[in-house]
Amino acid sequence: MTTFPRLRTASLTLREWKKTDAPRVLELLQNQNITRMLASAPYPYTKADVEVFLQRFMPGDLSEVLNWAVELQGEVVGSVGAWPLHKAPAMGWWLAEEYWQKGIMYEAVREVLRYLLLDRELPVLDADAFDDNPGSLALIRKLGFQQIGTDTGRSRARPEGEYPLTLFSISPLDFISAQQAKVEAPVQ
């Protein structure tokens, strides 16, 4: 693959990261409520951290890493990606706090799952969330991920130590089943 796969949903554009996104990334990731739920993002978040982020996630080897900037009405509001694509890929995401619990990340991650599991035909994707992150835990379950275990992990934006994580996995069949269940769910 040589062209970054731009994805579109009803209200979002998922596109490649650009150097011009640096000020917005800095603005969003200076929020510790976001960075404390991520493993690799420190707090406080600096311009040097933004440079590392963009170097890591701007289009490079698209067969290895795909990370999308999530745009709502032309403004970056978050990120969703998966890596390493060649073996046991894991997904990760973050969203600007003012957009939490509005369905935006569900819409974005669902489209990325559709692309990776159905178009790219990856056999499985993994995800995890800290146990004190009810938003991501609910999102993961709603999308059709299956819990496969528990573990502990670190966050560079939290005090030193290990924090409980729940581990999940999703296959194409899990994803299709969750989408069908959503369509077939009775209206309440």
Say what the pTM is.
0.95
| Residue-wise pLDDT tens digits, 78-122 | 999 999 999 889 999 999 999 999 999 999 999 999 999 999 999
Q: Which two tokens stand for residue 20?
A: 């011009």
Buried-state track 135-166, b at ≥16 Cβ within 10 A, e below 16: ebbebbeebbbeeeeeeeeebebbeeeebebb
Average model confidence (pLDDT) across the chain: 95
Number of residues that this document lists for the chain: 188
Which stretches does DSSP call E strand in the chain? Answer: 7-8, 12-15, 66-72, 75-83, 90-95, 125-130, 146-153, 163-170
Q: Are 124 and 170 in contact (CB under 8 A)?
A: yes
Does a structural domain hold residue 82? yes
Band (pLDDT 50/70/90 cuts) for residue 187 is low
| Domain annotation covers residue 188 | no
Side chain identity, residue 55? Q
Q: Is residue 134 part of a domain?
A: yes
Q: Is residue 1 part of a domain?
A: no
pLDDT digits (tens, 9 = 90+) for 18-57: 999 999 999 999 999 999 999 999 999 999 999 999 999 9
pLDDT at 167 over 60: yes
Q: Please check whether residue 138 lies inside any domain of the structure.
A: yes
Q: Within a domain: residue 96? A: yes
- 170: domain CATH number is 3.40.630.30
Whether the per-residue pLDDT at 186 is higher than 80: the answer is: no
Number of domains in the chain: 1
What is the C-alpha to C-alpha distance for residues 41 and 43, in angstroms, rounded to an integer? 7
Which residue range(s) make up the domain with 117? 7-181
188 pLDDT above the threshold of 60: no
Query: For residue 36, how many other CB atoms are within 10 A of its CB?
Result: 18
Residue 186 lies in a domain: no
* 187 assigned to some structural domain: no
Residue type, 110: R
